[in-house]
Chains A and B, each alone.
Chain A
Amino acid sequence: MEQNHHIDWKKYLIVFLFTLGIFLSASYISNYFGNKKIDQLKLIQDKISIDILSSETQFSLLSELSCKNISDSIISGELGELGRKLEWGQDNLGTTDTVSYLKKYYSLLQIKDYLLTKKISERCKTKAAFILYFYTTAENCSECEREGVVLSNLRDKYPELRVYSFDYSIDLSAVKSMLQIYKIEDTKLPALVIDGDVLTGFHSIEELESRVKESFKLQDIKLEETIPIKN
């Protein structure tokens, strides 16, 4: 009987190399698109950075000039978009080092935006509420995910509300300083800072909404008490 069970080892090897080639090509293409996305993120960050710098410069000129148009340069929408993309990138882009570097930069931009907007709000008496949100990606934090959804919802509802989110585990001295200032502990995440009060654990939308409204109300009272600045 003719040999039925002939094995072509060369074919096994060729197919292996071919398959390996396919995987390497897929990895190359994936990297290519990943880098494109990182470039896109860098571009957004540069733009935000320039915008903040511009706002700061404008703010410095405020004493000589006026509050007119200053609020136009507030860029929290773009910051939010960048945050979402970075969050997604961390899970889906292979180059985690670059993404975490960008995330650090993003955190810095948020702090700068927070400080600047707060100053502008005080100086120009514009209505704004701030929430600093601390979460963690180092471990599975389902309450952080829930709080994130609540905050996104709240932000959609109140455009004047500015939410700044910070990853507890990020290795950045500026963020660490904030953690020290507000005495945030990793065992009590998620944590929120609203009007100087630190709230830990999950907080419902109703609870946060009442606090945000309260914050706006206080500002309205303050605004009524002060003489409006004339341009």
Chain B
Amino acid sequence: MALFLSSIFYIFSFLSVYVQVFFLITFLDNKKEITNRNGSTKLYKYPKVTIMVPAWNEENTIYKTVRSLLNLNYPKNKIQIFLIDDGSTDKTWDFMQKFSKFSNIKIFHKDNGGKHTALNVGLENLETDYVGCLDADSIADPESLVRIMSYFEKDSSVMAVSPSILVINSKNIIQHAQKAEYDMSIYVKKMLSFLGAIHVTPGPLTIFNRKVFDDLGPYRHAHNTEDMEIAYRMQKNNYKIKQCNDAYVYTNTPGTIKKLYKQRLRWIYGFINNTIDYRSMIFKKKYGNFSLFSLPFNIMSVVAVTFIFGKTVYSFGKFLFLKVLEFKDVGFNFNYNISHFDPFFINTQSLSFIGILLFLLIIFSIMIGKKMSEGKWNLSFNMILYILIFSIVGPFWLLKAIFNTILSRKPAWR
């Protein structure tokens, strides 16, 4: 049994290193293509774009979100903004009405039906060739849209482009940890973009060619992760998704463990259930790296975290049990604690070195992400916070998501 568990542990470690090396080689292969543009970007043609802002009880952030759209470096007559109130019970609708005087802003009100229904109201009223969404808790950088649109101009086969999402207003350690995580996501997303294997087109300012919705239909409920499902649907139909690393959108992140837990539970639940819905795509050559790399390794990470968590809980439980027995047998024994340090007892098993390597690779991924977003290499304490907090709390939302999936329980949005 011990040998079996140890073999599984080795396999997971091997696959984890494999993923990191895969990203690293992709990075080295495409290094020259990763640019950070400074100043204002210009396009030959400025296609008309509609940006939908679905909102449900976002009175605290919606004003800033819309202002950021009005400040975009993009011709005003080429941007149409849809503010869609999804049956808010706070003052979101009042805030929206403040923008009714703008000629390029249209305001919609509907009964609460979920984000996908709000977005579909926007799609029904769409008049432009490009459309995107900006979550009402996010703020777009003035250069973001024009830089995203440059990808469509450069390659007409691109069907969707997502930006780099950065964290604003990070005030506590939970948010600092997410800051590092979002930095790493920029790197991971960019690599998946090179591989044609992006599995989510996030709510904050992913821009689509309207052909996507004309051909594939509107947004679906998709287990409260409509931004993931549309990406799966696009991959299934061979529609190209790219990531624009120097288009920045700033987003607010959950400030407490409880809120973070709820958000991640929704994301992971969405991932598990969308993957189940699209299971026919796994390991099918015709779906490319999405089916051979992105999906299998995401599934592996869910299984691996569950396994490692189970193993850790078992080992820790055993350790505690023995300590309790030891306390019962001999009382507190301080001799062990004060005994001198002997390097002989440092674990030099190969998995220890692999663990250190994985840790360094993750730190390096965050650093590359930071370099891609901020243009500078630096280490920060947030990286340690991220690894620490997410490795302790992460397994809980993951296990709960698996549990909910088994019992067919749908997690709430907030």
**Residue positions of A touching B, CB distance < 8 A:** 1-7, 11-12, 14-16, 18-19, 22-23, 26-27, 29-30, 33-34, 37, 40, 85, 88, 92, 94, 142, 145-146, 149-150, 153, 156, 204-205
- Asked whether A1 lies within 8 Å of B348 as measured between CB atoms, the reply is no
Assembled-state Cα–Cα distance A45/B157 (Å) = 72
Task: List A contacts of B347 (CB < 8 A).
Answer: 92
Assembled-state Cα–Cα distance A2/B240 (Å) = 8
Known contacts: A4-B239, A6-B196, A94-B349. The answer to whether A150 contacts B17 by CB under 8 A is no
B344 at the interface (CB under 8 A from A): yes
Known contacts: A5-B290, A7-B285. The answer to whether A23 contacts B240 by CB under 8 A is no
Q: Which residue of A lies closest to B288 (CB)?
A: A5
Binds A, one of B47-55, B128-136, B321-329: B321-329
Q: Which residue of B lies closest to A150 (CB)?
A: B329
Q: What's the nearest-Cβ distance from chain A to residue B117, in Å?
A: 29
Which of A15, A29, A33, A94 is close to B18, meaning CB atoms less than 8 Å apart? A15
- Could you give 9 example pairs across A and B, Cβ below 8 Å? A2-B155, A5-B288, A5-B290, A7-B292, A23-B354, A26-B351, A26-B357, A146-B326, A149-B333
B341 at the interface (CB under 8 A from A): no
Q: Which residue of B lies closest to A23 (CB)?
A: B14
The 10 closest A-B pairs by CB, nearest first: A5-B288, A33-B348, A2-B157, A30-B350, A26-B350, A26-B353, A153-B330, A4-B240, A27-B350, A4-B196
Assembled-state Cα–Cα distance A18/B25 (Å) = 10
- Asked whether A5 lies within 8 Å of B286 as measured between CB atoms, the reply is yes
- Asked whether A156 lies within 8 Å of B335 as measured between CB atoms, the reply is yes
- Asked whether B330 lies within 8 Å of A205 as measured between CB atoms, the reply is yes
Q: What's the nearest-Cβ distance from chain A to residue B56, in Å?
A: 34
Say which size band chain B's interface belongs to. Answer: 35 or more
- Asked whether B330 lies within 8 Å of A18 as measured between CB atoms, the reply is no
B359 at the interface (CB under 8 A from A): no
B9 at the interface (CB under 8 A from A): no
Assembled-state Cα–Cα distance A33/B14 (Å) = 21
Q: What's the nearest-Cβ distance from chain A to residue B212, in Å?
A: 12
Which of B287, B325, B357 is close to A22, meaning CB atoms less than 8 Å apart? B357
Task: List B contacts of A4 (CB < 8 A).
Answer: 157, 196, 238-240, 288
**Residue positions of B touching A, CB distance < 8 A:** 14, 17-18, 21-22, 25-26, 29, 155, 157, 196, 238-240, 285-290, 292, 322, 325-326, 329-330, 333, 335, 344-345, 347-354, 357
Apart from the given pairs A2-B240, A153-B333, 16 other A-B contacts in the complex at a CB distance below 8 Å: A1-B157, A3-B238, A4-B288, A6-B196, A7-B285, A11-B25, A15-B21, A19-B14, A23-B17, A26-B351, A26-B354, A92-B349, A142-B325, A146-B325, A153-B335, A205-B330
Assembled-state Cα–Cα distance A55/B228 (Å) = 76
Q: What's the nearest-Cβ distance from chain A to residue B339, in Å?
A: 10
Which of A22, A142, A145 is close to B21, meaning CB atoms less than 8 Å apart? A22
- Asked whether B329 lies within 8 Å of A34 as measured between CB atoms, the reply is no
Majority-rule SS of B interface residues: helix
- Most chain A CB within 10 A, of B238, B335, B348, B354, is at B348
Task: List A contacts of B345 (CB < 8 A).
Answer: 85, 88
- Asked whether B353 lies within 8 Å of A30 as measured between CB atoms, the reply is yes
- Most chain B CB within 10 A, of A4, A88, A92, is at A4
Task: List B contacts of A149 (CB < 8 A).
Answer: 326, 329-330, 333
Q: What's the nearest-Cβ distance from chain A to residue B331, in Å?
A: 8
Assembled-state Cα–Cα distance A2/B357 (Å) = 37
- Asked whether B348 lies within 8 Å of A37 as measured between CB atoms, the reply is yes
Task: List A contacts of B352 (CB < 8 A).
Answer: 30
Q: What's the nearest-Cβ distance from chain B to residue A201, in Å?
A: 13
Which of B14, B329, B348, B357 is close to A30, meaning CB atoms less than 8 Å apart? B348
Task: List A contacts of B330 (CB < 8 A).
Answer: 149-150, 153, 205
- Asked whether B344 lies within 8 Å of A40 as measured between CB atoms, the reply is yes
- Asked whether A7 lies within 8 Å of B288 as measured between CB atoms, the reply is yes
Assembled-state Cα–Cα distance A12/B26 (Å) = 11
- Asked whether B322 lies within 8 Å of A145 as measured between CB atoms, the reply is yes
- Most chain A CB within 10 A, of B196, B288, B344, is at B344
Q: What's the nearest-Cβ distance from chain B to residue A151, in Å?
A: 10
- Most chain A CB within 10 A, of B325, B329, B354, is at B329
Known contacts: A85-B344, A153-B333. The answer to whether A5 contacts B287 by CB under 8 A is yes
Task: List B contacts of A142 (CB < 8 A).
Answer: 322, 325
Assembled-state Cα–Cα distance A229/B181 (Å) = 76
Q: What's the nearest-Cβ distance from chain B to residue A83, in Å?
A: 13
Q: What's the nearest-Cβ distance from chain B to residue A143, in Å?
A: 10
Task: List B contacts of A7 (CB < 8 A).
Answer: 285, 288-289, 292
Task: List A contacts of B348 (CB < 8 A).
Answer: 29-30, 33-34, 37, 92
- Asked whether A16 lies within 8 Å of B350 as measured between CB atoms, the reply is no
Assembled-state Cα–Cα distance A11/B25 (Å) = 8
- Asked whether A30 lies within 8 Å of B349 as measured between CB atoms, the reply is yes
Assembled-state Cα–Cα distance A116/B3 (Å) = 41
Assembled-state Cα–Cα distance A151/B325 (Å) = 14
Q: Which residue of A lies closest to B355 (CB)?
A: A26
Task: List B contacts of A11 (CB < 8 A).
Answer: 22, 25-26, 29
Q: What's the nearest-Cβ distance from chain A to residue B359, in Å?
A: 13
- Asked whether A205 lies within 8 Å of B18 as measured between CB atoms, the reply is no
- Asked whether A16 lies within 8 Å of B344 as measured between CB atoms, the reply is no
Q: What's the nearest-Cβ distance from chain B to residue A106, in Å?
A: 15
Assembled-state Cα–Cα distance A12/B289 (Å) = 10
Q: What's the nearest-Cβ distance from chain A to residue B115, in Å?
A: 27
Assembled-state Cα–Cα distance A137/B162 (Å) = 57
- Most chain A CB within 10 A, of B288, B350, B352, is at B350
